[in-house]
Chain A
């Protein structure tokens, strides 16, 4: 660990970025060794928003612990809930009805879009463009309204529960999502005009934050970060869950390995998510939305693991059960933690301004890293 103030033995300046700094997205604290404007080392310090969620889960029942996971990666709360529910279902061998599965996938993809939209807006701010933020939030607001109507909340939904989903979809749901699709299709070109094609933006992104596929793998990166380095890793493709095997979509792979490639992966994923939603929206099967489950869930003795693809990468839930009402131990594998650990590799030798831009393309959510 390096000292937090002053100069290093070699005479380099050590500065702290964060935990209260507008460019570090929440309470991330980076200790940076600078030689002039060149970053020589950057070390994240965590612990500012630690809530000991894993420990907390040990005292909650298998129905109760799921709502807490909405508060980890709050931009993918549906998908976190889904991962936990899948693990419980796997242990109890509950078969989710088709309707429940389709609703889950629809919600997960809407969440992914909302998350990518927020990331896009925030990335614009990181590189010095303020307008994209408002454009992204305008569309994200529509998704939030849809969520609010069906799930009852905008961010921490707790809608996906073991056995299916908590309620059936709202009667307006399909129409609202259709309206959103029309709106979004008319706006997505604006994004490219405003940001993707902008020459300043491209020069801030291209060739910056390079990480090869091999290195990314060895750091444990997942999600868009790894796919931008040319490695296939989409859990929805390699280990499909909840009926992802039945929908047609492409796994986006870019080989640029830089910030621009990560940007492109997410922009293209937006379109893929939209196409998944379009395929499923008119084909929601009739029937039950939730399987019949016991009021009190008791997992058999053993160890259970399942994983899902959140907007940031692979999210894993590992439960050890002693056969009681509460888990003996729960471990979450969060995508942000591993992605952040690759930051110093990506930014070694780059300029301080590029560090901020690179961090933006990692799409960090601090409560997910520091749970």
Chain B
């Protein structure tokens, strides 16, 4: 009885190994089935929803849509965003709150998307860039509104 079991085990062992080897052989001879991405020589196009970093959209007249309402700052779980506001004088002489600087700490951001969802005017969005490494940590603190930009007309 023992001998029969022993021979059976050896037989099963050899066949199962051969089956496995056959598959290895298949992939060895079928190079099309191999998937390797040649990064960084060939860069993949990332889907538009990919969360790489927060950016502010500006149009060709250098205008943005951010009113400085700080909703994104409040929505952010780890104090990545700091909004500095100023007071503009409107043509009819009234004071109006406006965005001065939008400070974004990329090193703190977890790409959770909560700020984008919170923004009432769609002023910010996620960019697809992902190669963020720099030599100095301070370079990761960014100002998102471009210099000289102002609020787009009609955005409240």
A interface residues, Cβ below 8 angstroms from B: 60-61, 63-65, 67-68, 131, 138, 141, 148-153, 156, 158, 166-167, 170, 190, 193-194, 197-200, 295
Interface contact B51-A198, CB-CB below 8 Å: no
What's the Cα separation between A200 and B12 when bound, in Å? 10
Size class of the contact patch on chain B:
20 to 34
CA distance A228 to B16 in the complex (A): 25
The answer to whether B84 has its CB under 8 Å from any CB of chain A is: no
A161 vs chain B, min Cβ distance (A): 8
Q: Within the complex, what minimum Cβ distance (angstroms) separates A350 from chain B?
A: 21
In the bound complex, do residue B51 and residue A152 qualify as a contact, i.e. CB atoms below 8 Å apart?
yes
Is B87 in the interface zone, CB < 8 Å from A?
no
From the candidates B13, B49, B110, name the one contacting A170 in the complex (CB within 8 A).
B49
The answer to whether B114 and A193 have CB atoms under 8 Å apart is no
Among the interface residues B13, B23, B35, B49, which one has the most CB atoms of the partner chain A within 10 A?
Answer: B49
CB-defined contacts of A65 to chain B, threshold 8 Å: 77
Inter-chain contact B113/A60, CB cutoff 8 Å: no
Q: Which residues of chain B have C-beta atoms less than 8 A from A60's C-beta?
A: 77
Q: Can you spell out 13 A-B residue pairs with CB atoms less than 8 angstroms apart? A: A63-B75, A64-B75, A64-B77, A149-B49, A152-B49, A153-B111, A156-B111, A166-B113, A170-B47, A170-B49, A199-B13, A199-B17, A295-B118
Residue of A nearest to B14 (CB): A199
Is B47 a contact of A148 with CB atoms below 8 Å? yes
Least CB distance from A32 to B in Å reads 30
Chain B residues near A151: list those with CB within 8 A.
49
Question: Once bound together, how far apart are the Cα atoms of A181 and B135, in whole Å?
Answer: 43
Report the number of A-B residue pairs with Cβ-Cβ less than 8 Å.
64
For B117, give its contact among A153, A166, A170, A200 (CB under 8 Å).
A166
Q: Assess the B12–A199 pair: CB atoms within 8 A.
A: yes
Contacts of A158 in B (CB 8 A): 112-114
Q: How far is the CA of A68 from the CA of B78 in the complex (A)?
A: 11
Nearest 7 Cβ contacts at the A-B interface: A64-B77, A67-B112, A199-B13, A152-B49, A149-B47, A152-B51, A158-B112
CA distance A190 to B27 in the complex (A): 12
What residues of chain B have their CB less than 8 Å away from a CB belonging to chain A?
Answer: 9, 12-13, 16-17, 19-20, 23-24, 35, 46-47, 49-51, 75-77, 110-114, 117-118, 126
Tell me how far the C-beta of B37 lies from the nearest C-beta in chain A, rounded to whole angstroms: 9
With A63-B114, A158-B113 given, is the CB distance from A153 to B51 under 8 Å?
Answer: yes
Min CB distance, A250 to chain B, in Å?
27
> Is B117 within 8 A of A148, CB to CB?
no
- B114 x A67 contact (CB < 8 A): yes
Residue of A153, A190, A200 with most chain B CB atoms under a 10 A cut-off: A153
Which B residues are CB-close (under 8 A) to A190? 23
Residues of B with C-beta under 8 A to A295: 118
Complex Cα gap A194–B13 (Å): 13
**A197-B49 contact, Cβ under 8 Å, with A63-B75, A141-B35, A153-B111:** no
State A193–B18 Cα separation when bound (angstroms): 10
Decide: A152 and B16 in contact? CB cutoff 8 A.
no
Q: Which of A64, A65, A150, A190 has the most CB of B within 10 A?
A: A64
* A148 contacts B110, C-beta separation under 8 Å: no
**Distance in Å: Cβ of A200 to nearest Cβ of chain B:** 7
**Given A194-B23, A198-B17, A199-B12, A148-B75 contact (CB < 8 Å):** no
Nearest B residue to A146, CB-CB:
B47
A60 to chain B: closest residue by CB:
B77
Q: How far is the CB of A142 from chain B (nearest CB, A)?
A: 10
Chain B residue, CB-CB nearest to A167: B49
Q: What residues of chain A lie closer than 8 Å to B12, measured between beta carbons?
A: 199
Chain A proximity of B53: nearest CB distance (Å): 12
The winner among B13, B111, B112, B117 for most chain A CB atoms within 10 A is B112
